[in-house]
Each structure stands twice: as structure tokens, then as C-alpha cells.
């Protein structure tokens, strides 16, 4: 497999001008696109329709070129919220078969997969954990990756809207399935969905045994987490779209990925460690992918923070701004991917971070 990575700026959620230019010049073959990750300038919450707008714009554009079926098969992960210095952009992943003459080396390889749609009662449940675990396992196998060489698993997952709750006629069934009730807000459901998806990754990568996870652990027992999962919830889909990234000795890619785990929002050493794992200097970094969370204890490095108590700005937005500034300051590029809400993704207050670099 030969994987290429392209980072493109966006002027608005429906701006495909940079992608169009890259395709027109032959830099990107639209037939080779397998995944697109983007940062959009919405609020990153339930009513952030910039994510769906961006996906719709990309699918409509690519559908005219490669056909609607192939365009729909691409994994689209749009993360809302470009607070602070974060700059809207797309990261486009292409994949094609390696040619016999191309030298093989430890390089970037990826697997993509879509789960089935989830019913409202399954979102944030053990059913979701199991389905995601199975899908991630399949994607790892399809990519030809060894478990130890998987460095990042990015998932876009659904949420429960107020209408979904109205459709649930058996509150007891919802409680048994997810450990939550109809009283849980749509915003809170995002956390349950992210958390269940992350635990699914942990199971697939043998970080946690499935039998050791109880329904009531989801969004409650944060001692259970994945050091590789990055999950993001949105109203624009009903299934999970999954992108597995790792390194394989059979790759002919000119890119490599590394990862680490931030222990807190100011953990610059973890970012440097993720870059160091790639074996490439900072100047070769194409993009950084990080999770951000306002520490639920209300403190960071022993100092009190007020992100959880602000009634004007959601704490996930503040966390993205903080981590985005930290990451951007290291790579000296505000076009970095920082996603808020890290339930069961790294330790509380922290989160996984990955770096993709071009091989010198």
C-alpha cells in the first residue's frame, strides 16, 4: 500500500477550491481518496451543522467526478470547532497499490470501515463497544497492520437528538442498554457515544478485555481508556466511520506516523514524543492529531481552572483552544487537528496525540 497525505486550507465549510486545485493539477487522484478529516468552524456541539455541510459539499463534488457510490464509501471525519488559533482545513488521505519497483519500508498504512447504523438505544452502549471493536479489528486486518504498529484510530460517531429520545418508548430499555435515561441531554449523549466508541478501540487493540467492561462503566469509570483512540460525535451520521492508521514494513508510503498520550492539556513533552516516534524532525510534520479535555477535577498541574464552570462558553471549546495553541506553538502551524471531548481516550484531562510526518 502507498498512502499519501495532503493538508489543504479551507475558507468555509463548503470550500473545496484547494481540493479542486490539487485534483486539477494531478497532485491528488480523486479515485485514490479513502478518507478526509477536517476541522470546521462551528461550535463542535449538537447543533454544529458545519460538519454535515462540509461532508455534503465534499460528497457532492467528488460524486460528480468518481460517482456517488465511491464518494459515499470514503470515510469523512469532520470535527467542529476552530477556537483560538485553530485554522479550518482538510487532511486528505489517498491509497493505491504499491508498484513492484517501489522500495518497502516502515511507513504509513491505513484501513477504513463503516459500521452499520445504530439505533438510539444502542448509542453509548455495550452493543456499540462490541460493534466498534469488531469493525476496528477488521480494518486493522485489511490494512495488514500488526496491533503493536497501530498508532491512531479516528472515529466519527453519532449522537442522540431530542427527537431520538421521543422515539424511545421504553426508558428502561435505554437505561439497560446505555446506563443513561431520557433525561440525559443530547449534548451529554455525545460523550457516551465517544466513550463507547473509544472503549471499542481499546477492546480491539487488547488494551481492555470486553468482559471487564460493564454498561455502567461508560462515562463513569475513566480508569478504563484507550491510548490510541480519537472519537468525535456528530448529528450528521447514524453509524461510525472509522480510520485506522499505523506503520507497516510492507508500506511504500513517503509518510510515517507516531503517537503518545498527553497527561494534561499543557503536556508538550507528549507532543514532542509523538513526533520523535516518527523518526523525523519537526519540520517534516504534516499534521498533528490530538484530543482535548478540560480536566474534570477542575485543576491542571495543581492549579484551579474554571473551564467547567463557565456558563458562556462550553468547556470543550475552551479545551480545544488551549490544546490547539500548545500544539500549534510547537509545529508553528495553526492548521492542526484538535478534537474536544476525550471520554475514555487517554487519562482524564489528557488524551492521545499522533503525528504524521513526511519521510526525509
For residue 111, pLDDT beyond 70: yes
Using CA atoms, how far residue 283 sits from 92, 159, 335, 359, in Å, is 20, 38, 14, 11
pLDDT at 1: 86
Range 321-345 average pLDDT: 97
What are the residue ranges spanned by the domains of the chain? 1-97, 101-253, 254-360
pLDDT at 156: 97
For residue 183, pLDDT beyond 60: no
Catalytic, 253? Answer no
| Assigned C-alpha cell, 143 | 490494512
For residue 228, pLDDT beyond 70: yes
pLDDT at 168: 63
pLDDT at 121: 85
Confidence of residue 170 (pLDDT cuts 50, 70, 90): low
Sheet order of strands, 33-40 included? 2-9, 89-96, 33-40, 75-80
Q: Which CATH number fits domain 254-360: 3.30.1330.160, 2.60.40.2130, 3.40.109.10, 3.30.70.20?
A: 3.30.1330.160
Q: What is the pTM of this model?
A: 0.94
pLDDT at 185: 84
Contact partners, residue 135, CB within 8 Å, separation at least 6: 113, 114, 115, 200, 240, 242
Topology agreement, domain 1-97 and domain 254-360: yes
Confidence of residue 205 (pLDDT cuts 50, 70, 90): very high
Separation CA 247–CA 233 (nearest Å): 26
Catalytic, 156? Answer yes
- What superfamily does domain 1-97 belong to in CATH? Cyanuric acid hydrolase/Barbiturase, RU A (3.30.1330.170)
User: Which member of 189, 232, 251, 253 is catalytic?
Assistant: 232
Cβ atoms of residues 50 and 39 within 8 Å = no
Class (C level, CATH) for 101-253: alpha beta
pLDDT at 355: 98
Separation CA 217–CA 212 (nearest Å): 9
336: left (phi over 0), alpha (psi -120 to 50) or beta: beta
Cα torsion angle, 324, 79, 156, 217, sign: positive
CA 328 to chain CA centroid, Å, is: 18
pLDDT at 169: 55
Separation CA 33–CA 6 (nearest Å): 10
- Looking at every residue in the chain, the average pLDDT score rounds to 94
* 243-293 confidence digits (pLDDT tens): 999 999 999 999 999 999 999 999 999 999 999 999 999 999 999 999 999
* 9-64 confidence digits (pLDDT tens): 999 999 999 999 999 999 999 999 999 999 999 999 999 999 999 999 999 999 99
For residue 181, pLDDT beyond 80: no
pLDDT at 161: 86
| 193 or 99, higher pLDDT | 193
**What interhelical angle do 50-66 and 17-24 show, nearest 10?**
20
User: Which member of 2, 39, 156, 291 is catalytic?
Assistant: 156
Separation CA 111–CA 32 (nearest Å): 13
| 262 or 313, higher pLDDT | 262
Amino acid at each position: 500500500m502507498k498512502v499519501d497525505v495532503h493538508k489543504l486550507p479551507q475558507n468555509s465549510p463548503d470550500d473545496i477550491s484547494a481540493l479542486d486545485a490539487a485534483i486539477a493539477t494531478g497532485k491528488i487522484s480523486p479515485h485514490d481518496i479513502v478518507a478526509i478529516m477536517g476541522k470546521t468552524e462551528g461550535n463542535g456541539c449538537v447543533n454544529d451543522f458545519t460538519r454535515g455541510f462540509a461532508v455534503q459539499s465534499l460528497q457532492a463534488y467528488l460524486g460528480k467526478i468518481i460517482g456517488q457510490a465511491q464518494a459515499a464509501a470514503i470515510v469523512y471525519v469532520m470535527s467542529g470547532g476552530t477556537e483560538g488559533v485553530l485554522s479550518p482545513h482538510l487532511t486528505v488521505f489517498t491509497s493505491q497499490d504499491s508498484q513492484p519497483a517501489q522500495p518497502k519500508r516502515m511507513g504509513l498504512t491505513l484501513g477504513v470501515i463503516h459500521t452499520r447504523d445504530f439505533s438510539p438505544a444502542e448509542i453509548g452502549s455495550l452493543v456499540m463497544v462490541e460493534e466498534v471493536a469488531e469493525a476496528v479489528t477488521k480494518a486493522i486486518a485489511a490494512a495488514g497492520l500488526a496491533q503493536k504498529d497501530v498508532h491512531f484510530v479516528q472515529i466519527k460517531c453519532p449522537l442522540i437528538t431530542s427527537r431520538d429520545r421521543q422515539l424511545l418508548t421504553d426508558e428502561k430499555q435505554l437505561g439497560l442498554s446505555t446506563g443513561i435515561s431520557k433525561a440525559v441531554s443530547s449534548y451529554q449523549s455525545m460523550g457516551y457515544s465517544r466513550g463507547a466508541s473509544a472503549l471499542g478501540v481499546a477492546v480491539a487493540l487488547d488494551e481492555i478485555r470486553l468482559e471487564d467492561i460493564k454498561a455502567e462503566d461508560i462515562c463513569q469509570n475513566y480508569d478504563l481508556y484507550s491510548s490510541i483512540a480519537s472519537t468525535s460525535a456528530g448529528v450528521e451520521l447514524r453509524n461510525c466511520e472509522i480510520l485506522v492508521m499505523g506503520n507497516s514494513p510492507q508500506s511504500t508510503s513517503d509518510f510515517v506516523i507516531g503517537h503518545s498520550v498527553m497527561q494534561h492539556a499543557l503536556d508538550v513533552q507528549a507532543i514532542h514524543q509523538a513526533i520523535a516516534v516518527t523518526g523525523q524532525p519537526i519540520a517534516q510534520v504534516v499534521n498533528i492529531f490530538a484530543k482535548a479535555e478540560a480536566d474534570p477535577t477542575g485543576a491542571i498541574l495543581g492549579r484551579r481552572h474554571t473551564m467547567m464552570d463557565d456558563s458562556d462558553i462550553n468547556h470543550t471549546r475552551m479545551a480545544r483552544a488551549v490544546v490547539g495553541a500548545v500544539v500549534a506553538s510547537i509545529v508553528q502551524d495553526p492548521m492542526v487537528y484538535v478534537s474536544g471531548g476525550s471520554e475514555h481516550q487517554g487519562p482524564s484531562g489528557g488524551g492521545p496525540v499522533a503525528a504524521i510526518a513526511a519521510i526525509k
